[in-house]
Amino acid sequence: MKKPTPVISRAATGVLLALALVTQGTLSLAGNFPAIGSLLAKKTPEAALAEMGRRLFFDVRVSGDGAISCATCHDPGQGFTRQVDKNGKPMALSDAYPGTRHFRNTPTLINVIYKADFAQTGWGWDGHMGANLNDVVRDQITETMMMNMDMR
């Protein structure tokens, strides 16, 4: 296929620019829609609950053998996900409970406080974890390939 010459390219650009200027007033949609304001209300967690969550998040005692915490996979230094392993090697799939490999990558926890506003889609990359945050957290702690903790 033959490339257009610079003269043709400039001419086409000029024609498109002229059309844009001529139709600017007739095709503009600005001003036809009401302002929607902020999509999400700012949420501020209670300080005591946030501190308890922070402690649990980094506590290895929430895993079956006391070897991993939530932060093992949801690494704050990697955007609360896990993109590289301990040796800096990129990971396509997340590590799971020691001795297993998970079939998904770790989803980020950034802005997870707002997820409840859209919970009808469910949690996880594909919505496979349900819509209730309390159940999701419990399931991750007790799931064999996640934290493998016996809650009894």
| pLDDT tier at 25, thresholds 50, 70, 90 | low
Mean pLDDT of all residues belonging to the chain = 76
pLDDT of residue 43: 74
Would you put residue 91 in left (φ > 0), alpha (ψ -120 to 50) or beta?
A: beta
How distant, in Å, are the alpha carbons of 67, 113, 117, 118, 124 from that of 39? 40, 14, 10, 12, 22
Q: Give 32: exposed, middle or buried? Use CB within 10 Å, 0-12, 13-18, 19+.
A: exposed
Q: What is the DSSP string of 10-69?
A: HHHHHHHHHHHHHHHHHH--TTSS-----SS------HHHHHHHHHHHT-GGGSTTS---
The CATH-assigned architecture of domain 47-142 is: Orthogonal Bundle (1.10)
35-56 pLDDT tens trace:
766 666 677 778 999 899 999 9
| pLDDT tier at 113, thresholds 50, 70, 90 | confident
Q: Is the pLDDT of residue 62 over 80?
A: yes
Q: Is the pLDDT of residue 106 over 70?
A: yes
Q: Is the pTM of this model over 0.75?
A: no
CA-nearest of 57, 96, 94 to 76 is 57
Can you give the residue ranges of every domain in the chain?
A: 47-142
